């Protein structure tokens, strides 16, 4: 299984918008904010500090990751997973873990990510990813909306 990530160009926006719509619909079940995502275009209009990734398996796009520098904890960070999505039919075979690890390794430094309390699949997924990616100095903090993970990759 060949899993890769690729920075998404403006030409990929229609594909990413479709995947984002699926992601937002799924996240509503866990208390997500609904179908609007006001930061989408900023990944191309304000690319400094924002990285939109396509996730591919064997050459087929199966998901995306949005990385930025916003700190969910408010303590400051180098990078943050803003959104991460693997289409349902591509899950359960290490694909998500491999893709998330590739994203983390693409940006060595201090990371944060936030997981909604009701999103029990993500609550189980992210600690394993952080461990598999070699995350160090891992902190787990409770927030009003869920759990914030803060850790270092590769530095």
Instruction: Label residue 30 by pLDDT band (50, 70, 90).
Output: confident
Rounded mean pLDDT of the chain? Answer: 95
Domain range for 75 is 3-153
CA 39 – CA 47 distance, rounded (Å): 11
CA 9 – CA 51 distance, rounded (Å): 10
Structural contact between residues 137 and 23, judged by C-beta atoms closer than 8 angstroms: no
- The mean pLDDT of 68-91, rounded to a whole number, is 97
Structural contact between residues 104 and 84, judged by C-beta atoms closer than 8 angstroms: no
Domain of residue 104, CATH code: 3.40.630.30
Instruction: Label residue 80 by pLDDT band (50, 70, 90).
Output: very high
Q: Where are the alpha helices (DSSP H) in the chain?
A: 13-28, 42-45, 95-105, 120-132
Number of folded domains that form the chain: 1
Instruction: Label residue 76 by pLDDT band (50, 70, 90).
Output: very high
């Amino acid at each position: 299984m060949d899993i890769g990530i690729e920075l998404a160009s403006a030409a990929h926006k229609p594909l990413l918008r479709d995947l984002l719509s699926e992601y937002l619909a799924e996240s509503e079940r866990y208390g997500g904010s609904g179908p609007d995502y006001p930061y989408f275009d900023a990944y191309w209009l304000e690319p400094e500090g924002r990285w939109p990734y396509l996730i591919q398996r064997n050459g087929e796009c199966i998901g995306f990751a949005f990385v930025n520098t916003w700190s969910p904890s408010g303590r400051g960070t180098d990078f943050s997973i803003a959104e991460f999505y693997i289409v349902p039919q591509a899950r359960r075979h290490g694909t998500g873990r491999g893709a998330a690890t590739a994203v983390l390794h693409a940006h060595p430094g201090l990371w944060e990510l936030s997981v909604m309390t009701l999103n029990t699949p993500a609550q189980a997924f992210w600690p394993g990813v952080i461990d598999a990616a070699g995350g160090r100095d891992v902190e787990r903090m409770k927030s009003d909306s869920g759990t914030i993970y803060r850790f270092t990759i590769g530095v």
